[in-house]
Amino acid sequence: MRRIIHVSLIAPLLVPASVVTAEWIGEIKKEGNTTYYCKCYSDHSCYPTKAEWKAFNETIEGRLQPAIPPGAVCHNHLGNISTFDAAACTEYKAHFNDEQYLTDHNVAALWPLYTNNTCLPTENAEDPCTQGFYGTYVILATKKDHIKKGVDFARERNLRLIIRNTGHDFLGRSTGYESLIINTHGFKDVQFTKSYNGPGNWTGSAAVVGAGVQGRELFRHAFQQNPKQVIVGGECPTVGWAGGYIQGGGHGPLSSIYGMGADNVLSFEAITAKGEYVTANADENPDLFWALKGGGPASFAVVTSITVKTFPEIPSAGTILNINSTHTNDTKLFNKGFQIFHNLSNHYTAHGMFVYFELSLGSLHVAPFVGPRMDESKLNEVLKPLFDQLDAEKVPYSRYTKAFPSFFELYMDLFEDEAFAVQGSSTVGGRIFTQKDIAVNGDKIAEALLFASQPTPDSVGLSVGHIVNPGYGVPVADNAINDKWRNSSSFTLTNLLMSGQESWPQKLEIERINTDVVGKALREAGPDGAAYVNEGDLNEPDWQYTYWGAKYSRLLQIRKKWDPEGVFYAKTTPGTEDWSVLDTGTKLCKRARG
C-alpha cells in the first residue's frame, strides 16, 4: 500500500517514526508551535481516486452516491456539475421548513450553519453553490455489511467519517468537510416482545428498534401494540431515536417518571471502529454497553439497533400557557411572569411532570405542561400555585387544558412540530439547572434566561426549555449520563439567531458571545448544574467535566480501547481533545504529542 505524506509547511519537518508507520497520512500542518497530522482530503495524494471510489462502491452493492446538498437543485452549478432542476427546486423550497422531508434526504442538515450555509434556497440560479462542509460521498446503508465496509474503508484510507441518521443535529456532528458519510436512516425495523428474557434484570415488555427509527414513528409503533405501549423518547418527532438520541442520554416528556432514554436500554447491536460486529449489554462487552448509554454520539461504535424497555400506556393531561404581546407589552410584568413560571420548576418535577417552553423577547409559550397519570382535575390542582401567583401579580395570560386517555394522544395533539429554519442559522448553548440551583438561585436563573433573549444590542436569542427530573423516576442508573441529571429541574437550550450570511469572523464573534456572555451568565446562575452533550455549547469550558462529571475518565479509557485510531469524530465528545478542525472549518487533524 502507498504511504504518502503531504507536507504543508514553510520549512521541512521531521516526522516521528510512529507517524511514518501509518498507512495513510494526509497532511502535516504547523499552527504556531503545534504540529498536526490530518485526515486525507482531495488535495492530498492519499485521497482515493475516482477509480478507487468506483471499486469501493462495487463492494457495497452500489450504495455509494455523491453527497449533493439538497439546495443544489436551485442553483445552476455545484462546482463543475450542472444541478438546476426547476421542479425539484420548487419542491425543495416548499419543504425547506419541513423537518421530515429534510431528515429523509440523503445528507441534508437541519441546521445549515454547520454546512457553512451552502446552497440555500434562492430565486437566482446563478447564485454560487459549493459543497460547503458537506461530505463528498454518502453510503445509503440498508445492510450492516454496508456500514462495516464503510467503516473499514474510512479507517484504512484515513478519511473523515460521518455517521448520519436524520441530520437533526444542533451541533453539526452530522456534517464534515469532504467526509465519507454513512447514512443509517434506512434501518427502520421495530419488533416488540411482551416478555424480555435477555441480559439484565428486566422481564417486562421490550422492543428492538433500528437505528433509523425516529421519535414519532416509534411512539406510533408502540401505540399500535396490544396492549398499547410507551417508550421514553424526545419531544421532537423527527429526532433519530436509536441513532444519536440515546447515545447522548435522551430526555423527553416521560423522563420524570421513567428516567432518561438511555436508562431503559437493555442491549445494543453495533459495528466498531475496527469493523467488528458486536453486541453490548450487561453480559457482553459491558464497558461498551455502559459508554453507549449517554457517552456521546458517534464516539464508540455505529449503533444499528437497540433493545429497550417499554411500558404500558398511561392517561395524561396537558396544559398550554401563553404570555406575550397580546397580553402585555410591559417588560417588567412579563419578566415577573416568567420568573414565577420558572421558579416553580421543582414543584412541577416533584409531581413527575415534564414542561416544554419557548422563550424569546416578550414571549413565553409553554406547549405543553405534561401531567403523566393525571386527569384534568389533578393537573389543575398541581398548577394552581402557578396561576394563583400570576393572578396575584396581575400578569395576564391565556391557558388551555385537556385530558387524554393516553400519552400518545396527548403527544399528537399538544406537541408542535418545530420550524427548524428559525433555529437553523443559530449557535447553540444551554445549561442543566438542578433542584438546588432552582431552590437557591431561582430569580438569578430566570434573569439569565431572560438576558439570553437579547444579550447584546445586536443579538437576538431564542431559548427552548425542558423542565424535567429523570431522577424522580430513576434515582440511580449505571451508565455514562452525567449524575447531575438525577437531580435536575430545568434544562434550557439557548440559541443566538443568525442570518446565514455572516462571514467567518462574524460567526466566531457570535460563538464568543454565546460562550463568554450568554454561557457565562447561565453558569454563574446555576453553579450546581451541568451541560447536555446533545444540546450544548461546542466551546463549553471544561466540557469533559461539564458534560459527564466524574465519569469522564472512565469514558476516555473506553474510547481509547474501542477506537484507538480516532476513526469516529464528533466535537466535544470523549477522546477528541487532541483533534481540531483547521483551515476555516475544513480539515480534521490530530495534534502530535511528545
Q: What is the average pLDDT across 292-308?
A: 97
Q: What confidence score (pLDDT) does residue 10 get?
A: 27
**Domain shared by 325 and 232, yes or no:** no
Closest CA to 167 of 247, 73, 248, 104: 104
Q: Is the pLDDT of residue 423 over 80?
A: no
Do 380 and 340 have their domain in common? yes
pLDDT at 370 over 90: yes
CATH of the domain at 533: 3.40.462.20
d(CA 53, CA 34): 33
Q: How confident is the model at residue 5 (pLDDT cuts 50, 70, 90)?
A: very low
331 in the same domain as 307: no
* pLDDT tens-place string over residues 521-551: 999 999 999 999 999 999 999 999 999 999 9
Say whether both 514 and 443 belong to one domain.
yes
- CATH classification at residue 33: 3.30.465.10
Q: How many residues does the chain have?
A: 594
Rounded average pLDDT over 455-479 = 96
Instruction: Identify whether residues 544 and 580 lie together within a single domain.
Output: no
**Residue 7: pLDDT over 50:** no
Q: How far apart are the first and last CA of the chain?
A: 27
Asked if the structure places residue 557 within a domain, the reply is no
Whole-number pLDDT of residue 420:
52
Tally of domains in the chain? 2
Closest CA to 490 of 345, 377, 344, 337: 345
- pLDDT at residue 495 is higher than 90: yes
What tens digit of pLDDT does each residue of 143-179 get?
999 999 999 999 999 999 999 999 988 899 999 999 9
What is the domain extent for residue 276?
A: 1-67+135-313+564-594
The reported pLDDT for the residue numbered 23 is 52
Residue 19: predicted pLDDT: 38
Q: What is the reported pLDDT for 27? A: 84
Res. 13: pLDDT tops 50: no
Range in 60-69, 136-145, 185-194, 494-503 the model is least confident about: 494-503
In a domain, 362, yes or no: yes
Closest of 355, 548, 349, 549 to residue 436, by C-alpha: 349
Identify the pLDDT of residue 337: 98
Q: What pLDDT score was predicted for residue 548?
A: 98
324 and 290 together in one domain: no
Average pLDDT value for the chain:
93
Q: Do both 359 and 346 map to the same domain?
A: yes
pLDDT at site 594: 60
Alpha-carbon torsion (512, 513, 519, 525), positive or negative:
positive
Please choose, from the candidates 510, 565, 501, the residue with its C-alpha nearest in 3D space to the C-alpha of residue 539: 510
**What per-residue confidence (pLDDT) applies to 557?**
98
Which amino acid, 40? C
Are 342 and 297 within one domain? no
- Residues 323, 239 within the same domain: no
So what's the pLDDT on residue 226? Answer: 97
Does 58 map to a domain? yes
pLDDT digits (tens, 9 = 90+) for 329-364: 999 999 999 999 999 999 999 999 999 999 999 999
Q: Is residue 411 part of a domain?
A: yes
Q: What is the mean pLDDT of residues 581-590?
A: 94
Q: Is the pLDDT of residue 324 over 50?
A: yes
Closest CA relative to residue 217, chosen from 232, 237, 236:
237
List, in sequence order, every residue forming a beta bridge with 251; answer none if it has no partner.
none
> Is 104 part of any domain?
no
Task: Tell whether 97 is covered by a domain.
Answer: no
Same domain, 291 and 430: no
pLDDT (tens digit per residue) in 249-263: 999 999 999 999 999
Is the residue at 47 inside a domain? yes
Question: In this structure, is residue 554 part of a structural domain?
Answer: no
207 and 261 part of one domain: yes
Asked if pLDDT for residue 22 goes beyond 80, the answer is no
Residues 6+ apart with CB under 8 A from 419: 97
Shared domain for 429 and 330, answered yes or no, is: yes
Facing residues of 270 across strands? 278, 303
What is the percent of the chain with per-residue pLDDT over 90, rounded to a whole number?
88
Determine the average pLDDT of the residues in 272-298.
97
Q: Span 127-153, mean pLDDT?
A: 97
